[in-house]
Amino acid sequence: MATTWIKNPLAIWTGTNDDAAGGIVVQGNTIVEVVAKGATPTQPFDHTLDASEHVVLPGLVNAHHHFYQTLTRAYPDALDKELFHWLKALYPVWAGLDEEMMQLGTELASAELLLSGCTTASDHHYLIPVGLEHAIDIQVEATRKIGLRTVLTRGSMSLGEDQGGLPPRHTIQTEQTIIDDSVRLIREYHQPEFGGMTQIALAPCSPFSVTTELMKETAHVAKQHDVMLHTHLCETIDEENFCLERFGYRPVDYLEEVGWLHDRTWLAHGIHFNDEEIRRLGQSGIGICHCPSSNMMLASGICRNLELEEAGASVGLGVDGSASNDGSNLVNELRMATYIQRLRYGSAKVSHFDAFRWATQGSARNIGRKDIGTLDKGMLADIAMFKLDEIQFSGSHDPLAALVLCGHHRADRVMVNGDWRVVDGELVDVDKQELMVRHRAAARKLAAKAQQLRR
């Protein structure tokens, strides 16, 4: 296995207290040494990479996304709406997804994430209309092709409009179909070992789109197969009211009732918790994925990151779907998270280092990974490297702060599992222009199908 010294970075944040000013040494898919300032590696190396113009971070980890939504960015019927009305506008459109659209949406989102310095992403795919029963299989193939490490969640919806839920009936599946496919996907694709490139988690969409029975049975299957659980929770007050009216519980009480209140669960958004619920979530070791741009776009609210972390919960970072963010750029979310959290807590209590933590260690803990999230000896070689050579960085002084505060948007180099997937700001072995042409055509086709149904 070749050994590479990534040498003398302009700045480096490892997520540890070790001096890494001299860089890091990678052998195969693993970091084998952290080099102090002025030192050289203690072991032989085959190659050096001069990082004197780079800010080096652990590969960013995206803990919540909906890849297929790249096909419906800035969709006219969904503009200027809050969550429930936004979903009702888009469910009929998404019901027209086919296998080619699913593949292209996944490939484009994965490519966009890589270019932003993201090396691991969790996708929450819950909408499986007739003809798209192998959506997750398609995602496995597409993300492996692009070279992104993933935790793909087998999402589900089983509570249709006619049963008091939110999604239209033609977008839901039976509970037995969902459970059978969940078990199949775990057996075929889940790689729990150190360095696994593809992992599977189970992810009923939300309290307003699945039954209580499905939530309970999914928790049982996840425990049996030792995989993670994921869902949306406490994104809006509407959801809280729905849970009280339908189940007689506040959302966190409902989570406990269905057997989800434990450290194998992570939740998207987690905005509207009260103090007592934050205490219980922390004691249970729950993960919360903060999605700042999406929460601002839909006017959902601001996650209580600092209280959640203080209580013991892990707080990660996610871009959320590209129809509520309209982008899949994770490094941009560091800036958004820093600023929206300062709006809640004040400038003195939130720094760019908090954003680094949320986007690396926090997200890794969210998704149940212990082999990523820091640049430390023995960890996987997932690395993001950024240059500060664009006009917005001119006149900046602290490289780590500038990365966030001046608004970086694109990595120069990205390594996943020891392999370079982005070099000189471009994807390796991916024709980005061809992908964009095909993806745009698929987006137009999906919109046209929706328009035909309305006629």
Query: Concatenated DSSP letters for 23-89?
Result: EEEEETTEEEEEE-TT---SS--SEEEE-TTEEEEEPEEE----GGGGGGTT-GGGTT--HHHHHHH
Q: How many residues are listed for the chain in this entry?
A: 455
Residue 52 has pLDDT above 80, yes or no: yes
Task: Report if pTM > 0.95.
Answer: yes
Q: What is the mean pLDDT of residues 326-333?
A: 96
Of 18-32, 243-257, 367-381, the poorest mean pLDDT is in 243-257
Tokens of 180: 């059978």
Instruction: Kindly report the average pLDDT of the chain as a whole number.
Output: 95
Tokens of 264: 């194998």
Q: What is the edge-to-edge ordering of all strands in the sheet holding 149-156?
A: 60-62, 118-125, 149-156, 198-204, 229-233, 265-269, 287-290, 314-317
More confident residue, 159 or 79: 79
Instruction: Provide, rounded to the nearest whole percent, the portion of the chain with pLDDT above 70.
Output: 97
What is residue 246's predicted lDDT score, i.e. its pLDDT? 81
Residue 44 has pLDDT above 90, yes or no: yes
Q: What is the mean pLDDT of residues 250-259?
A: 92
More confident residue, 240 or 268: 268
Query: For residues 260 and 58, what is the distance between their CA atoms, to the nearest angstrom?
Result: 30
Residue 162 has pLDDT above 70, yes or no: no
What is residue 166's predicted lDDT score, i.e. its pLDDT? 61
What is residue 188's predicted lDDT score, i.e. its pLDDT? 98
